[in-house]
Structure 1
Amino acid sequence: MKGTTPVFMISVCLAVIFILWGAIAPSHLESVSSNIQQFLQTRFGWFYLISASTFLLFTIYLAFSKYGNIKLGKDDDEPEYSTFSWFAMLFSAGMGIGLVFWGIAEPISHFYVPPFGDAQTPEAAENALRFAFFHWGLHPWGIYALIALALAYFKFRKNAPGTISATFYPLLGKHVNGPIGKTIDLIAVFATVFGVATSLGLGAIQINGGFSYLNNNIPNNFNVQMIIIIGVTILFMLSAISGLGRGIKWLSNINILLAILLMLFFLILGPTTFLLNLFTTTIGSYVEYLPKMSFRLAPFSDENSEWIQGWTIFYWAWWIAWSPFVGTFIARVSKGRTIRELIMGVLAVPTIFCALWFAIFGGTGIHVEMFGNGGIWEAMEHGNNTEIALFATLSHLPLSTIASVLSIVLISTFFITSADSATFVIGMQTTNGMLNPPLLIKIVWGIIQASAAAVLLWSGGLTALQTASIVSAFPFVIILIFMMFSLHKGLKQEGPTYPKKRKVF
């Protein structure tokens, strides 16, 4: 097969072994992975928290440092995509399905099972939104910005291969082409496969939940979810055939427009003034408590500690597992932008959008529970069926059926975009950084991704998806730490650059 490399062959073989393991012995897979997850969460939660905050602080430092004007490409390169398309693509790849899945479910869950204090109080409602902002705000995008920046800098400015291992050249030199470099790339591939499989599984669960909520004759079970995965896999392969400039770009633009349309639906037909007041209040609370939340582990309370492990540590692991995929994709579409432009764009715009999203969606759900007829938490079966939260909330608004159909379409397009982008990225990582991987290789990875998502659902549903993210992310944290040092060393060797002075007429 054209473009195959040792990394491709080894990673495909290992992925197939994992899929066969899950298909033949799902209970054994669940048991082993759960034990590893429990060990990592309890023993290394501090490591995830410190690492994520360090990555965020490092990217902010670079944005305001003397290196901020360095262009990710040659000095005369211009951005390949418009600013709107750029934001749309990085946003669709970076959050996508997760926002729709957790937009209401997470704040409602925190409202009834808070990180501390009493449940179902105004304080619990404020904390619920603040922690949702925290989990989807600056920290995940700081992780994405770090890896995107390293990849774009070495690929487009230094003409290195577009692989994770290539970013280690300042530290490893020629050894990036040996066993160490291949191991780095293999770890990145597996983090990507399981990180994306988690989101694909969430998408299948929520699409199934939406259909079941709209039609009682459609069961909410693995068989229906498997049909959804197969159907969407066919669609994203058709998108992959059309390439980055067509399929992913246009789907990303559609995604962002549908997301804005759905958000406006909630804002206008929901408790508008309450939602805007809640957004403003929670933004201030998020900024005020950000340092404390960033390092909170609750060592004196087992109950609070379990909450942090189940939410914050899971999210940090999920974002880290996603980072080679999202970072590679952002790097690929960011050629011609400066370091400062990439960091500020990646940190600021998606963070504000995510905050608005949770304030509007989560705020509507909390308003229904506190001042309306309630019933969302019961429909979720006290947190066990989180995929129902969106549709249960919509039932309290006008035109709920139309909005539910729109939501299912949005989840499906996010599903297609994420899977399509992931096949593109894993194709790059397993073909020594080819900017346009062969179609057959993308199809192979598309099938593997879909199979991994199906196996994880089969072996344990949502819990198995979360476990896969946490386990696959751990070794990649170490890679990100050394990548940070390597990028800084590479920037120091180049030195700062300054924009050319424009003539004033």
Structure 2
Amino acid sequence: MLKKNSVFKISLMLSIVFVVVGVIFYEWLGEQASIFLDFAVTHFNWFYLLVGSIFVALCFYLMFSNAGKIRLGKDTEKPEYSTFSWITMLFAAGMGVGLVFWSVAEPVGHYTTPPYGEGSTSEAANVSLQYTFFHWGFHPWAIFGVVALGLAYFSYRKGLPTTISSIFYPVIGDKIHGGPGKTIDILAVFVTAVGVASTFGLSTLQISGGLNYQFGTPDTFATQFIIIGLATTLFIISSWAGINRGIKYLSHFNLLLLFLLMAIVIMVGPAKQIFEMLISSTGSYIGNIVPMSLRLEPFSDEASNWIGNWTVFYWAWWTTWAPFVGAFIARISRGRTIRQFVLGVLIIPSLVSFVWFSVIGSSALHLIHNLGQTALASNINADVESALFTFFGNMPLGFWLSVLAIILIFTFLITSADSATFVLGMLSKNGDLHPSPFVKVTWGVVTAGAATVFILAGGIDAVRTISIVIASPFTIILLFICYVLLKEVRKEMKPEQAEPDLQRPRNGHYQ
């Protein structure tokens, strides 16, 4: 039997070793991770696409079936947070950072190099947002939702600790407290730490790029290191304040600032085209979601490479965020029914993402395709980190839009890191819903160090590649979570088959 604090100690040790090895051998780490990723994307693209589709199908099944009535908690429990606070905090867990980072770069990238057909055409412009919606819509939120549902169901409904291993109680029983369970938790915590560091690294690179573009600040490692240090200090202060003060109010501010930024772009940008693209791309996405989800091109290397470099890559990347985002969503979702949960976690955030990409992405495409600013596309593709600011530089009120964007990225970074330190503390301390400030600060410093490693190892490519390689084994765990969750929920839908002793481990106490 492993000791009570073994998950915290071993996962922390692994994370520190990763930081130390990354600092000393950052070039080697980047090269080896790239080789592994190329192999996975080339030979297992079918697996990632199939798994992603399973997650979406499971979430919709649970929402529309009788399982949707099951409450994540006692039957009489009410939600802990208001619907507005709950939804704003969903974005605090990391997705907000990615939305801002890729808001211009991805639609423009799909426009110049589309998944099929000729680039830089009207058809490519239409397809660009359709596939952007695909990559940021139901699939990523389904991946997060499966982990969150599993945690919330077995913790709040069945009375087990809020740890990933608790989801496997129906399969391995009391072994969740022994070697098998601790191994699952250690892997989950380590993957979470790496996923958090990737979010941290992305934000740092974009803030540095924005400051360089707008104010001429040197876009160097020294600047990025200062940004990491300042952000670490601020999110530790917020983390100390707790969820109900720090994360909650910062999340409100983030979403309001996001909508303010969109409102300004609509007023000074091509409003008619923005709304047309929103409606058209949403319809195209919904109408083609099944073909896109299962699209493989075994006889076209070029098309197959596109799918691997974008869709498969994204599905693998979302997996790195799954333990972190899923655990945080589970923490704030107690008292909601499964139907409310799926509606709030899968549908509403996807719609917000569609509006955001339509406003920012289609405005950039308007400048490039309709107004003929082809050089803008080249500049955006050449410098992804500064893509948003390059776009704002060609818009009315561009300076103020850039300032608002930098503030938004920074606050998203703080709330993401804040929620992450909470999750790491919770998962590494046997599901403690109130981890100590010392534990949260420790994880904050470690993840900041890991983000530094990513930047040293090669910037954005290293951030994504290394995190995916480390998280790959967790994909298998996600499939088991789907199986166990479906199995137990279907039992509860048939009371005569329910297992009442699942409420507490057979040995009568938690370890």
- What does residue range 10-159 of structure 1 map to in structure 2 within 5 Å? 10-159=10-159
CA distance in 2, matches of 1:238, 1:166: 31
Q: How many residue pairs get matched?
A: 492
Q: Aligned to 2:409, which of 395, 398, 411?
A: 411
CA distance in 2, matches of 1:42, 1:227: 38
Aligned residue number for residue 467 of structure 2 = 469
Any conservation in 2 of the 1:379–1:388 contact (CA below 8 Å)?
no
Aligned residue number for residue 291 of structure 1 = 290
Aligned residue number for residue 428 of structure 2 = 430
CA distance in 2, matches of 1:144, 1:459: 27
Any conservation in 2 of the 1:49–1:313 contact (CA below 8 Å)?
yes
Any conservation in 2 of the 1:50–1:295 contact (CA below 8 Å)?
yes
Any conservation in 2 of the 1:103–1:361 contact (CA below 8 Å)?
yes
Q: Aligned to 1:449, which of 428, 447, 450?
A: 447
Any conservation in 2 of the 1:262–1:407 contact (CA below 8 Å)?
yes
Amino acid in the other structure paired with 2:480: F
Deviations 1:126-161 (A, max 9, x none): 111111000000111111111111111111111100
- What does residue range 61-460 of structure 1 map to in structure 2 within 5 Å? 61-216=61-216, 218-372=217-371, 374=373, 375-380=375-380, 383-460=381-458
Amino acid in the other structure paired with 1:300: F
Q: Which runs of 5+ in 2 are unaligned?
A: 496-511
Residue 496 to residue 225, structure 1, CA distance change in 2 (3 Å): farther
Deviations 1:335-369 (A, max 9, x none): 11001110111111011111111111110010000
CA distance in 1, matches of 2:382, 2:183: 38
Q: How far off is 1:377 after superposition? A: 2.0
Amino acid in the other structure paired with 2:110: H
Residue 206 to residue 368, structure 1, CA distance change in 2 (3 Å): same
Amino acid in the other structure paired with 2:53: S
Deviations 1:19-78 (A, max 9, x none): 111111111111221121111111111111100110110111111112111111111111
Any conservation in 1 of the 2:30–2:466 contact (CA below 8 Å)?
no
CA distance in 1, matches of 2:398, 2:458: 31
Q: How far off is 1:116 after superposition? A: 1.6
Q: How far off is 1:190 after superposition? A: 2.0
CA distance in 2, matches of 1:244, 1:106: 32
Deviations 1:176-212 (A, max 9, x none): 1111111111221122122221111110011011101
CA distance in 2, matches of 1:496, 1:430: 34
> Does residue 483 of the first structure (1) align with residue 481 of the second (2)?
yes
Residue 111 to residue 488, structure 1, CA distance change in 2 (3 Å): same
Any conservation in 2 of the 1:92–1:256 contact (CA below 8 Å)?
no
CA distance in 2, matches of 1:26, 1:205: 17
- Provide the secondary structure at the position in 1 that maps to 2:15: helix
Q: How far off is 1:478 after superposition? A: 0.5
CA distance in 2, matches of 1:376, 1:236: 35
CA distance in 2, matches of 1:33, 1:248: 33
Amino acid in the other structure paired with 2:293: S
Any conservation in 2 of the 1:88–1:256 contact (CA below 8 Å)?
yes
Deviations 1:403-422 (A, max 9, x none): 11100000000000100111
CA distance in 2, matches of 1:204, 1:166: 34
Residue 4 to residue 249, structure 1, CA distance change in 2 (3 Å): farther
Large movers: runs of 4+ above 4 Å? none
Aligned CA-pair RMSD? 1.3
- Provide the secondary structure at the position in 2 that maps to 1:184: helix
Q: How far off is 1:333 after superposition? A: 0.5
Amino acid in the other structure paired with 2:340: E
CA distance in 2, matches of 1:298, 1:384: 27
CA distance in 1, matches of 2:490, 2:372: 60
Deviations 1:317-350 (A, max 9, x none): 1111111111111111111100111011111101
Amino acid in the other structure paired with 1:22: G
Q: How far off is 1:4 after superposition? A: 6.8
Residue 221 to residue 496, structure 1, CA distance change in 2 (3 Å): farther
Any conservation in 1 of the 2:94–2:199 contact (CA below 8 Å)?
no
CA distance in 1, matches of 2:455, 2:260: 31
Q: How far off is 1:227 after superposition? A: 1.0
Aligned residue number for residue 508 of structure 2 = none
CA distance in 1, matches of 2:25, 2:376: 36
- Provide the secondary structure at the position in 2 that maps to 1:460: coil
CA distance in 1, matches of 2:4, 2:369: 57
Q: How far off is 1:94 after superposition? A: 4.5
Any conservation in 2 of the 1:170–1:489 contact (CA below 8 Å)?
no
CA distance in 2, matches of 1:491, 1:289: 30
Q: Structure 1-normalised TM-score?
A: 0.95
CA distance in 2, matches of 1:67, 1:293: 28
Q: How far off is 1:493 after superposition? A: 3.3
Amino acid in the other structure paired with 1:421: S
CA distance in 2, matches of 1:159, 1:263: 42
Residue 422 to residue 347, structure 1, CA distance change in 2 (3 Å): same
Amino acid in the other structure paired with 2:190: F
CA distance in 1, matches of 2:296, 2:223: 39
